[in-house]
Amino acid sequence: MKAKQLTINEAQKQVDNWIKKYGVRYFSELTNMAVLTEEVGELARIMARKYGDQSFKKSDEKYELADEMADVLWVLICMANQTGIDLNEAFVKNMEKKTTRDKERHKNNKKLK
């Protein structure tokens, strides 16, 4: 089954609706920062085992790469919602900044050739 395509703004609204319906309220900003760090750590664990030099442990079997990435995205969206950040707008501006700053930088990096 193909997943429904969402815009970033739709994802932000969907998370906000879920929080209001099931989550009671957003965790505090600092709690969400700690949760984001935890989720990034779980993602790093799977990346290190799947693409790095570490071997899988029995306890790693419960983790799935896509799910861990989605967990990181979820918490990041929660943080954006509660701090009034429009992630779509922020992403567009960030891409423009990167393009202006780095449009030749990586092409000229001998390490990448």
Domains of the chain: 9-88 (1.10.287.1080)
d(CA 63, CA 70): 12
What pLDDT was estimated at residue 58?
86
Pick from 1, 6, 7: which is nearest to 88 by CA?
A: 7
Neighbours of 26 (CB within 10 A): 17
pTM: 0.89
What pLDDT was estimated at residue 73?
98
Q: pLDDT tens, position by position, for the chain (113 residues)?
A: 788 899 999 999 999 999 999 999 999 999 999 999 999 999 999 999 999 999 988 888 788 999 999 999 999 999 999 999 999 999 999 999 999 999 888 888 989 88
Place of tokens 């950040």: 85
